[in-house]
Amino acid sequence: MMHAIAAAWLMTSLTTSPWLIGLVQSAFSFPILLMGIPAGVFADLLDRRLLLIIAQCWMMFFVLLMSLLAVLGKMTPCSLLILLFLIGLGAALHFPTWLALLQDLVPPNHLSAAVSLNSIAFNLARTMGPALGGLLVSILGAPMVFLANGLSFIAILLGLLRVPVKNRSILNTSQGIMNSFFQSFLEIAIFLIKSNVLLGATLRFALFMMGGAGFLGLLPLLAKENFHLGASAFGELMSLFGVGSVLGALLLPRLRSTYSMDTIIVISSLIFSVILFFLTILKTIIMINALMVILGATWILVIVNYNIAIQLSASEELKGRAISIYVVIYQGGIALSSAWMGGVASHWGVASSLLLGGMTVILSLLLIPLLPLCSSSSSLRIE
C-alpha cells in the first residue's frame, strides 16, 4: 500500500494528465487481467509455496529497480507505467496462488472465516500503509518508499519458507505439461458456463468493479486538485478507506447471520454509488473523511461476499481456478475502470466520471433477478 501511494503521488509530479494518473492503477492491474486465470490453473497443478516464492522474488527485483531509477532522477511517466506493469506480472501469479493457499491451511468449514480474516489483514495494511506511505513520501520522497517496499519482500519470503509443501506436479499426468494446462483451463471454462452461481457472481462482480474501482485511480487527482491536499493527507484518505474496510469486514459475520448475500450487496452497492457522487461536490474535509470510511465499509461488504460466493461455488479441485476468476475481475476491474474513468475525467471532468461509475455499479444490481447468488435452497445463503 505504501508503494501504491508513492507511485500514484510520483505520477502527479511527473504529469497533470488525469488519464496517465489513472493508468497508474491500470498498469499494475492489467497483467492480472491477462494472466490471472492461467496463474489459477498453475495454482491447482503446482506447489503453491514455490509459485509464491517465485512471484515475490520477481516483484522485489522490479520494485528495487524502480527505487534506483527514482533516486537517479531517471523516472518518466512511461518508465513508471512499464515498471508497474512488470510488478503486476508478479502480482498476477501471487494473488490467486495466495488465496488458493488458504484451503491448504484451514479446513473447509472454516473457509468463510479465513476469507474474512484475510480481508481484514489486507485492509489493515490498507489502513496503515497509505498513512505511513504518505508521511514517508512527504518527508523522504517516493524513492525511499520504493526501497522500503522492496526490502519488505524479505520478510514475506522468510514466512513462506515456513509454509508446509503440498506438491501438485503436472509431470505425473499422462497428457504432459501442456495438455494438463489446457485441460485444466477447459474444465473451469465449462464449469463457469454451467454454474449459475459462479456465472452470476462473475458477471455482477465485473460490472461492480468496472464502475466502482475507478475512483481508486482518480483519488490522487481528487486529493490534489479538488481537495487541495498534500501527499500526507492523501495517504490519510486512503487510510480512512482502509479503516472502513476493516470495520465492514468485522461487521460482515453479524450481517451474514441475518441477511442474504444479495441483500447485503444491494444495500452496500447503493450506498457506495451515492457516495461516489457526493465526493465530487463536498469541500469540507470532515465530511470527506467520514465518507471515505463509509465507502471503505461498503466496498468490502460487496467484494467479500462475491469472493465467498465464488469460492463456495467451486469444488476442491477447481478452487484455485475459481479464485483466479475472482482475482482477474478484481484487479482487471481496477485496471479497466481506472483507464476508462480516467479518460472520461480528461474530457468531461472527474464529477462526470464518478457519476457514470456509480451508475454502472447500480446497473450490476439489475442482474440479481436473473442471476441471484442465493435462494431458499441455496447453500450460499448464510443464515
- Please name each of the domains of the chain with its CATH number: 2-164+177-365 (1.20.1250.20)
Mean pLDDT of the chain: 81
Mean pLDDT, residues 133-153 = 83
**Does the structure show a pLDDT above 70 at 119?**
no
Q: Which residue has the higher pLDDT, 45 or 144?
A: 144
User: Of 104-108, 143-147, 216-220, where does mean pLDDT reach its minimum?
Assistant: 104-108
Q: Sorting pLDDT into bands at 50, 70 and 90, what band is 198?
A: confident
Which tens digit of pLDDT belongs to each residue from 20-62? Answer: 887 887 788 788 778 877 887 787 777 888 899 999 999 999 9
Q: What is the largest CA-CA distance in the chain?
A: 65
Of 25-29, 198-202, 313-317, 329-333, highest mean pLDDT: 198-202
Q: Which residue has the higher pLDDT, 240 or 130?
A: 240
**Cα 156 from Cα 52, distance rounded (Å):** 10
Q: How far is CA 360 from CA 4, 82, 222, 270, in A?
A: 25, 29, 20, 11
Q: Sorting pLDDT into bands at 50, 70 and 90, what band is 382?
A: very low
User: Of 200-214, 220-234, 243-257, 332-346, where does mean pLDDT reach its minimum?
Assistant: 220-234
In 3D space, the residue among 16, 23, 17 whose CA is nearest the CA of residue 7 turns out to be 23
Task: Kindly give the residue spans of alpha helices, DSSP state H, lying in the chain.
Answer: 2-14, 18-45, 48-72, 77-105, 111-139, 142-160, 176-194, 196-212, 214-221, 231-256, 261-278, 285-312, 319-348, 350-365
Could you tell me if 342 and 353 are in contact, meaning their C-beta atoms sit under 8 angstroms apart? yes
Would you call 323 helix, strand, or coil by DSSP? Answer: helix
Q: Note the pLDDT of residue 85.
A: 94
Could you tell me if 46 and 140 are in contact, meaning their C-beta atoms sit under 8 angstroms apart? no
